[in-house]
Amino acid sequence: MGFVNLLTMAKRFSGIIAILLLLRLTTAAASHEFCDAGMGYNVVGCGGSDSSSRRILIKGGTVVNAHHQEVADVYIDDGIIADVKPNIKVGDEVAVIDATGKFVMPGGIDPHTHLEMEFMGTDSTETIDDFFSGQAAALAGGTTMHIDFVMPVNGSLSLGFKAYVEKAKKSCMDYGFHMTITKWDDTVAREMEIMVKEKGINSFKFFLAYKGIVMINDELLLEGLKKCKSLGALAMVHAENGDAVFEGQKRMIELGITGPEGHALSRPPLLEAEATARAIRLAGFINTPLYIVHVMSIDAMEEIAKARKLGQRVVGEPVVSGLVLNDSGLWDPDFNIAAKFVMSPPIRAPGHGRALQAAVSMGVLQLVGTDHCTFNSTQKAFGIDDFRKIPNGVNGIEERMHLVWDTMVASGKISVTDYVRITSTECARIFNIYPKKGAILPGSDADIIILNPNSSFQISSNSHHSRSDTNVYEGWIGKGKVEITIVGGRIVWENNELKVNLGSGKYIKMPPFNYLFDGIEKADVSYISSLRAPVNRFKAMQ
């Protein structure tokens, strides 16, 4: 081999080395940027597994499922619940947690969140919590999974899904997706099939509000309901009459009411009730299950109660803000305080929350979400001269489990088993991931909380884990504290300290045809047989 050939090979080799070094530096920079997402939190890793024990014995606690409670031990092995029974014996290599006098329950599942979402498609008003900070807050509050709403990109479900997969790469706990439908054509119908059959989405949301932005009309809703039924997917509805809300907003502005109180006044309970009733009747016409998100008023709740009494398959989801707050904050003279309470449908006048709590306790409403959709005070100030420009949304992903316990269990309104049902199990059943999630049973994922009923908690924006600088539950002191959160068999919250593994969260695919679809086909057959049509008629002789 000649000298020239050797020189040429050396140059090529050095070039390859340079490229490899460049790739390594680029990857390291990207990894550093990824890990920076966890700044301000105790991040134990970036995408890898931490060194904490993968075998844990929770000893002597009261193990609570939606159907039963008992004093027992819970043995966790490699992220899965291996055994649940009294007096489990283990070796010295197993970490032991003493849960005597405490409740051991499935981690909460929040069915309704908006992380890293552009409010009405505006980059400058993206929610302040992303998939890391929002989930970190959730874990500190005892929620171990959530289901977020994917917004289409330029109407495309596939592009929207791709965008949210990218956003969720920094997740530190498990999550699922709902999909929002904002228009209708053959492409959307085909993409809905892809979402259900390939991407693990089994629910689609339709907005009857936000006119001119994401609101859909009755024709589109009917098409969507039919498609959901054929796919075994659950139709979800934001129920407010968007046309009437638009009129109400104009009326408030004409009256010179431009502050946050105008938000509530422009969209009263009767408009929520009208849209709820309309959606229920159209779903009944198609004969498909329906899920009403963030039920905020007595009026809407009563429409759901009537439909369920008649046997219609309707799920009602109140959110914690609607259960425990009232609208007085919207009249606060300090704009920053008033604006933080702006959400849609609005937080209602005193009396609505207590009625919704009663509906939850009686099973009229089936599970509790948050609609966690946080903006900081700077973002809320976009609407300082016009309430219509205030980004809609409040916090709750960290506070839900504590507030529901304090207001519903500690007060005697519901049992501990009911608490598990409305904060975890029913969500897992509705979205078809039970008993992998929502249960403390052998084979279930080891997503577990340990709650001390004798400890107290206090809520403050100074100590919460959301990136928002405000908290609508500021100053709340209550009974019942989540002392330990375990997710995927790892202790992530203990001694008021959060230890999260950035990028460790998994996307949970949710299969179609949940229990709400059982018997739908038989009902259709019965309906057709009841029509007594078509009638065979003889044509008159000419």
Quick: pLDDT tens for 366-416: 999 999 999 999 999 999 999 999 999 999 999 999 999 999 999 999 999
Tokens 């100030």 belong to residue: 381
Instruction: Report which DSSP code applies to 473.
Output: T
Farthest CA pair distance, the chain = 108
Q: What are the residues whose beta carbons fall under 8 Å from the beta carbon of 29, sequence distance 6 or more?
A: none
pLDDT at 44: 65
pLDDT at 2: 47
Kindly tell me the number of DSSP H helices and DSSP E strands found in the chain. Answer: 17, 18
* Burial of 527: CB neighbours in 10 Å, binned 0-12, 13-18, 19+: exposed
pLDDT at 438: 98
DSSP 353-388: HHHHHHHHHHTSS---B--B----HHHHGGGTT-GG
Q: What are the residues whose beta carbons fall under 8 Å from the beta carbon of 301, sequence distance 6 or more?
A: 295, 316, 318, 355, 356, 359, 364, 365
pLDDT at 124: 58
**Lowest-confidence region among 34-38, 66-70, 273-277:** 34-38
**Lowest-confidence region among 15-19, 130-134, 286-290:** 15-19
Q: Which two tokens stand for residue 335?
A: 């704009």
Q: Mean pLDDT, the chain, as a whole number?
A: 92
Whether the Cβ atoms of residue 127 and residue 114 lie closer than 8 Å to each other: yes
Q: Report the distance separating Cα 443 and Cα 447, nearest Å.
A: 12
pLDDT at 538: 85
Express each pLDDT in 51-79 by its tens digit: 456 899 999 999 999 999 999 999 999 99
* Burial of 234: CB neighbours in 10 Å, binned 0-12, 13-18, 19+: buried
Q: Report the distance separating Cα 88 and Cα 46, nearest Å.
A: 34
How confident is residue 481, by pLDDT bands cut at 50, 70 and 90?
Answer: very high
- Assign 427 to helix, strand or coil: helix
pLDDT greater at residue 50 or residue 211: 211
* Burial of 96: CB neighbours in 10 Å, binned 0-12, 13-18, 19+: middle
Please state the CATH superfamily assignment of the domain spanning residues 105-520 in this structure.
Metal-dependent hydrolases (3.20.20.140)
Of 264, 258, 266, 299, whose CA–CA distance to 280 is shortest? 299
